[in-house]
Amino acid sequence: MIVNAAETIREPGASVTAAIVKSAATDAAPNTEGTGSIQAALSRWFAAQALIGLSLVCVAIYAVTAWSFQVKQASEFERQSELIRHLIQESRGDPGPDGLRHKLDDFFLTHAEISLVLRRGNETIYSTRPTRASARWLWKPTEELQAQPGDAAMQLQLGIDIQEDNRLLRRLAWTLVGAVVLGSAMISLTGALLVHRGLKPLKKLIQQTAATGPAHPGLRIDPSPYASEITPWVAQFNAVLDRAEQAYQQLESFNADVAHELRTPLANLIGMVEVELARPRSIEELRDALLSALEEARRVSAIVIDMLFLSHADRGAVARRSAPVSLADQVRTVLDFHEATLEDVGLKVHVSGDARIGVDAGLVRRALSNLLSNASRYAAPGSTIAVVIDTQPDGVWVKVANRGEPIAADVLPNLFKRFFRAERSRSDSSEHHGLGLAIVAAIARMHGGQTRATSRSGVTEISFSMAVSEN
């Protein structure tokens, strides 16, 4: 039944991994129901930008061209006015106005694009008759001039034909409108193609994320083919996969360890009961059998209780801190409990340092008991166990050191793992199930601290820290 339970636990682990992968792939896929298609949105944005940009450019071109025509027309007015004034000045020696009309007629024979009205008072001296039916005249404001000093002033009004200029402006306007429409269409089409091409890596990425999962545990996405904007996302997704796979492996290992640790005492219980029931037993024999069964049941209960505590700690439980207490006093309280065991193996304990800090005293004593129990099992007979309480910037550290057989460097990182036992401790595996140091690490995390283990020159030091509460 225990093996089946472990196997049952494994299945949710796979479901969790699959759920994480599915969630990441879903997040990477476009949300067509919410925000719509990214490609369509970018294409519309390109079209709008092209239309607005080209329209502004074409309006600017038209405005500059119209202004240039106005400048040309003003210059033309000034030039033609100067010519007419010159003709009037030349005609001052001719008798009567006929000489002036004759000169002006000769002039306007070759200047059909100009119109003139010349008055003296209410009398019209000269007026051209436009020969272009489609002409569009632009008239200059009336100005006064004199043929010679002392003569009556004349009013001159000059007009020029701007039909050709207007025709050119209309053609330019239609050309610019066509350029805006065609240019916007071409830019929109090109933008849509570029967006489609630019989004291909995302589509490829979606396919790759969909291929990851429990069926391919070691599969990761290579970020090198992708742009720098996508690379951080790929790295984060790979990190999520790493954490999910690590959690799954831890769950698998934990389930296997649980099954192994519970199988032995349960098998002992079953075997003991079967043996005792195989033949008649006296009351004393049954009492001894029940006592042995009780010990095995207590061992199973201890494992279950420790597992429940670790599970509670893994869910982010935080220690309930009390008023500041002396850590040295907590150590002495635990030493009283371990006094008999220490005397049996001839060990002494030296406590140095102290700190007053708000902690969960019960949990701290449990951590200290586990550390002292661990040190007493592996300390050399007759040696001294050192307990040091040290206040550092990152918190208060409690260090327990013992002399004995050194621990290999590759073993040290595993000391705080659940159900981990070094080879040298296999002999007493029936008494200790390998959760003591894992509980110490959990208690440290619940107090905002951490754990550390070192083994040098025959001295093994295992320590944990607790953050100082702001309260």
Q: What is the pLDDT of residues 420-458, one digit of tens each?
A: 766 544 444 445 567 889 899 999 999 999 999 999 888
Assess whether 362 and 429 both reside in one domain.
yes
Encode pLDDT of 194-208 as tens digits. 887 777 777 778 777
- Using the 3D structure, point to which of 296, 313, 330 is the last residue of a domain: 313
* Domains identified in the chain, total number: 2
Assess whether 388 and 354 both reside in one domain.
yes
First to last CA, the chain: 48
CA distance 227 to 277: 73
- Are 349 and 380 in contact by the 8 Å Cβ rule? The answer is no
Assess whether 284 and 335 both reside in one domain.
no
CA distance 146 to 19: 100
Assess whether 392 and 456 both reside in one domain.
yes
CA distance 28 to 22: 10
Mean pLDDT along residues 281-301: 83
On whether residue 288 sits in a domain, the answer given is yes
* pLDDT at res. 391: 92
* pLDDT at res. 150: 59
* Joined tokens for residue 218: 């070691």
CA distance 210 to 204: 10
Between residues 260 and 43, which one has the greater pLDDT? 43
* pLDDT at res. 385: 93
Between residues 224 and 294, which one has the greater pLDDT? 294
Mean pLDDT along residues 86-91: 75
Nearest in space to 253 (alpha carbons), one of 408, 417, 409: 417
Of 157-161, 253-257, 349-353, the poorest mean pLDDT is in 253-257
- Using the 3D structure, point to which of 264, 295, 313 is the last residue of a domain: 313
* pLDDT at res. 115: 83
On whether residue 270 sits in a domain, the answer given is yes
* Joined tokens for residue 316: 């982010």
Reported pTM: 0.51
Assess whether 386 and 360 both reside in one domain.
yes
Res. 118: pLDDT tops 60: yes
Highest mean pLDDT: which range of 264-278, 300-314, 347-361, 417-431: 347-361
- Are 306 and 439 in contact by the 8 Å Cβ rule? The answer is yes
Assess whether 385 and 414 both reside in one domain.
yes
Q: Three-class SS of residue 216?
A: strand
Encode pLDDT of 48-64 as tens digits. 888 898 899 999 999 99
On whether residue 337 sits in a domain, the answer given is yes
The DSSP string of 341-372 is HHHHTT-EEEEE---EE---HHHHHHHHHHHH
On whether residue 163 sits in a domain, the answer given is no
CB-side exposure of 159: number of CA atoms within 13 Å? 17
- Are 165 and 76 in contact by the 8 Å Cβ rule? The answer is no
Q: What residue numbers bound the domain in which 445 lies?
A: 320-466
Phi, psi of 161 (to 5 degrees): -85, 115
Assess whether 438 and 332 both reside in one domain.
yes
Nearest in space to 104 (alpha carbons), one of 124, 81, 120, 128: 128
C-alpha 65 chain-centroid distance: 51
- Beta-carbon count within 10 A of 26 CB: 12
Res. 26: pLDDT tops 70: no
CA distance 35 to 41: 9
* pLDDT at res. 235: 84
Res. 17: pLDDT tops 70: no
Q: pLDDT-derived band of residue 8, with 50, 70 and 90 as boundaries?
A: very low
Mean pLDDT along residues 109-131: 77
Assess whether 325 and 416 both reside in one domain.
yes
* Joined tokens for residue 427: 């002999």
Assess whether 283 and 299 both reside in one domain.
yes
On whether residue 141 sits in a domain, the answer given is no
Q: Cα angle vertex 251, ends 248, 252, to 5°?
A: 85
Q: pLDDT-derived band of residue 11, with 50, 70 and 90 as boundaries?
A: very low
On whether residue 166 sits in a domain, the answer given is no
Assess whether 233 and 256 both reside in one domain.
yes
Assess whether 299 and 377 both reside in one domain.
no
- Using the 3D structure, point to which of 313, 338, 372 is the last residue of a domain: 313
Of 70-84, 249-263, 435-449, the poorest mean pLDDT is in 249-263
Nearest in space to 58 (alpha carbons), one of 189, 163, 183: 183
CA distance 122 to 218: 105
The CATH number of the domain holding residue 417 is 3.30.565.10
Assess whether 254 and 284 both reside in one domain.
yes
